[in-house]
Amino acid sequence: MSEVSKGESPRVWDQFLTERDREVIGMAGYGARQGFGARPALLIVDVNYAFCGDKREPVQQSILRWRQSGGEEAWDALPVIADLVDLARTRGLPVIYTTGCEREDKWDRGGWLWKNSRSRERPKATDLDGNTIMPQIAPEPQDIVICKQKPSAFHGTNLVDYLFLLKCDSVIVMGTATSGCVRATVVDAFSHNLRVTVVEDGCFERCQASHAVNLFDMNSKYADVLPSGEVRMFMAGLETGLFDLPSGNSGKV
């Protein structure tokens, strides 16, 4: 049995790895547990109508109207995300969301237009804005919402400035797509020397192999990929009042 699998519970990526993969990762020393930070922010990446659709249905049906939808996997992740968001608020932890923004003519999508033949489509048979964060996890006034145009939540945004302001040393990441915006965000967080935790069952993806293998890759090199139950225990044990969060009001007297 390889070093990476010895004594571990089954993981979502196990079915996609060869024995050679397991042996090489173990011999190279990857996959060490880095541990949580002391001052984490909860970071929810792009959990909006564009990536979830407006109802629970198989991905093959959902993508007919919402081309980026994760289908049923998105709706499986939503309660997990909602639970940790609620817990973060009760513990006074920062809750930060990302979602997309774009011009009506989509000129500013840039490279997104080059790799997907449906990039200029609008969702069919709905007036919903795809960039609207799902109502199950809707931001509250004290939460922070960041608009982004590229995969990473850090690229061209104020995210790192807000994390410095909050004195965060770590991020707990959930959202979509696992292989795209989640991974790009995780790599950039790692590059800023933040400790990164990815909630395994709080992430989702259109393609099952991409989801699993990217979780494996992130766990190997950039983050601890953990089930929500373990993350929940850690968050519940943090003292309250660690952060000076936004007041959530207009400041008017």
pLDDT, mean over the chain: 92
More confident residue, 134 or 1: 134
Average pLDDT over residues 173-198: 98
Q: Does the pLDDT at position 58 exceed 80?
A: yes
> Which among 252, 43, 69, 249 has a CA at the least distance from the CA of 145?
43
Q: How confident is the model at residue 122 (pLDDT cuts 50, 70, 90)?
A: confident
pLDDT band at 127 (very low <50, low <70, confident <90, very high): confident
Q: Tally the domains of the chain.
A: 1
Interval 230-240: pLDDT, tens: 999 999 999 99
Q: Is residue 121 domain-resident? A: yes
Dist CA 244 CA 12 (whole Å):
37
Q: Is residue 13 part of a domain?
A: no
- Give me the pLDDT at residue 219, please: 97
Let me know if residue 4 belongs to a domain.
no
The predicted structure's pLDDT at residue 248:
86
253 inside domain = no
Q: Which pLDDT score is estimated for 4? A: 42
- Structural domain contains residue 244: no
Residue 102, pLDDT above cutoff 50: yes
Torsion of CA 176, 178, 179, 182, to 10 degrees: 70
pLDDT of residue 124: 67
pLDDT at position 253 is 45
- Among 44, 202, 46, CA closest to 131: 46
Q: Is the peptide bond before 177 cis (omega within 30 degrees of 0)?
A: yes
The model's confidence at residue 105, banded by pLDDT at 50, 70 and 90, is confident
- Alpha helices (H) in 57-147, listed in sequence order: 59-65, 72-91
Q: For residue 134, tell me if it sits in a domain.
A: yes
Average pLDDT over every residue of 228-250: 94
Query: Given this model, what pLDDT does residue 3 score?
Result: 40
DSSP string, 213-238: HHHHHHHHHT-EEE-HHHHHHHHHTS
In a domain, 79, yes or no: yes
pLDDT exceeds 80 at position 7: no
Give 61-92 pLDDT, tens digit per residue. Answer: 999 999 899 999 999 999 999 999 999 999 99
Lowest-confidence pick of 28-42, 54-68, 75-89, 100-114:
100-114
| Predicted confidence band of residue 112 (pLDDT cuts 50, 70, 90) | low
82 lies in some domain: yes
Q: In which domain, by residue range, is 194 found? A: 37-236
CATH at residue 65: 3.40.50.850
Averaged pLDDT, 157-171: 98
pLDDT of residue 153: 98
